[in-house]
């Protein structure tokens, strides 16, 4: 097999793994937070990041899958710390929103990520796109407005948390792209996750103690009622590690925008699966709005490709 074909097969396999792990963690999060009675999204996020720290350390230090890279400068550390905080905000916001919103609407709002990615890409890298590229973002936002009006399970606080998480996710993607591609500060995906995860845990720990003070007692009590809780938490955290690692890898081998465009196809799959599994009500107006958003994202990606 020729080298270009091998590269294409590698990227296709990577995207498949990213799809499956992302959809898996979304559905597991929804099941734990809404259907299983586990009402602690910040603690759940801390479990995710603890798993990422542990798995990354074992992979690099013991299994030596990639060489250990050291942080070269204080500005580089500040960028990694910023990425960690933004990442925490995106995941916590997304997890909190799943307590109040169905996965289908959560994914519809998440489809606006390219809009925020374009804004932050300009603010961070001063990269300006052609006017027609920005024009393609109009249906992206319009579709979500329509979907919001047609959502029977709409919850204002859940919506605010979801849109905040979406903006944070977009900023993370742009910053992540800089850290993975800048010649002076380049880190491979696993090393970036190794340094990022412990910082995220340190940020989330006091937040958990302040905002979810009875989490340990409640978790132990719930574990006595549901014997598979620990297994579900472990699987959820391991899947989150796979999702985060493949997220970095897909960004490195493609781009931040490609990641977001691919994410909308993933979102469509997650919507269908969630409706089948959780049977949340949907309306024609809501589905129509989501379709408009996805079509807008497709148009944006095509415009960006043509007017580089």
- Give CA–CA dist 183/149, Å, rounded: 46
Q: Is residue 185 part of a domain?
A: yes
pLDDT value of position 202: 94
For the stretch 180-189, pLDDT in tens is 666 666 778 7
Instruction: Record the pTM.
Output: 0.77
- Is residue 154 exposed (0-12), middle (13-18) or buried (19+ Cβ within 10 Å)? middle
Q: Is residue 6 part of a domain?
A: no
- Give CA–CA dist 200/48, Å, rounded: 10
pLDDT value of position 226: 86
Q: Is residue 3 part of a domain?
A: no
pLDDT value of position 185: 66
- Give CA–CA dist 25/38, Å, rounded: 15
Q: Is residue 156 part of a domain?
A: yes
The H or E element containing residue 259 is helix 256-278
Q: Is residue 1 part of a domain?
A: no
Its domain, for residue 109, covers 12-306
pLDDT value of position 252: 73
- Strand ranges (E), 7-81: none
Q: Is residue 167 part of a domain?
A: yes
Q: Is residue 57 part of a domain?
A: yes
With a cut of 70, list the residues of the chain below it in pLDDT: 1-2, 179-185, 255-267, 307-308
Q: Is residue 166 part of a domain?
A: yes
Tokens read off for 173: 């993607």
- Give CA–CA dist 53/241, Å, rounded: 9
Q: How far is CA 249 from CA 47, 87, 229, 232, 304, in A?
A: 22, 16, 30, 26, 22
Q: How many domains does the chain have?
A: 1
Among the listed residues 165, 171, 162, the one whose alpha carbon sits nearest the alpha carbon of residue 123: 171
- Strand ranges (E), 88-216: none
């Amino acid at each position: 097999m020729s080298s270009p074909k091998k590269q294409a097969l590698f990227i296709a396999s990577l995207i498949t793994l990213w799809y499956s792990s992302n959809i898996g963690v979304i559905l597991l999060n929804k099941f734990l937070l809404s259907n299983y009675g586990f009402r602690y999204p910040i603690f759940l996020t801390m479990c995710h990041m603890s798993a990422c720290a542990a798995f990354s350390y074992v992979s690099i230090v013991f299994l030596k899958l990639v060489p250990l890279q050291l942080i070269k400068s204080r500005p580089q550390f500040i960028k990694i710390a910023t990425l960690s905080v933004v990442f925490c905000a995106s995941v916590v916001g997304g997890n909190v929103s799943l307590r109040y919103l169905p996965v289908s609407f959560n994914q519809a709002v998440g489809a606006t990520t390219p809009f925020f990615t374009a804004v932050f890409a300009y603010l961070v890298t001063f990269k300006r796109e052609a006017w027609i590229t920005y024009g393609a973002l109009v249906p992206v936002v319009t579709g979500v407005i329509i979907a919001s009006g047609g959502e029977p399970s709409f919850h204002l606080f859940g919506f605010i948390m979801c849109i905040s998480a979406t903006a944070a996710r977009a900023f993370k993607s742009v910053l992540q792209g800089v850290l993975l591609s800048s010649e002076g500060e380049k880190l491979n995906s696993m090393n970036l996750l190794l340094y990022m995860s412990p910082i995220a845990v340190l940020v989330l720990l006091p937040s958990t103690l302040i905002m979810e003070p009875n989490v340990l007692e409640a978790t132990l009590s719930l574990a006595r009622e549901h014997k598979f809780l620990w297994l579900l938490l472990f699987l959820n955290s391991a899947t989150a590690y796979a999702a985060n690692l493949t997220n970095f890898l897909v960004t490195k081998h493609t781009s931040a925008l490609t990641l977001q465009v691919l994410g909308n196809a993933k979102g469509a799959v997650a919507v269908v699966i969630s409706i089948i599994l959780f049977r949340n009500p949907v309306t024609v107006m809501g589905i129509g709005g989501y379709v408009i958003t996805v079509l807008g994202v497709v148009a944006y990606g095509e415009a960006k490709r043509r007017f580089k």
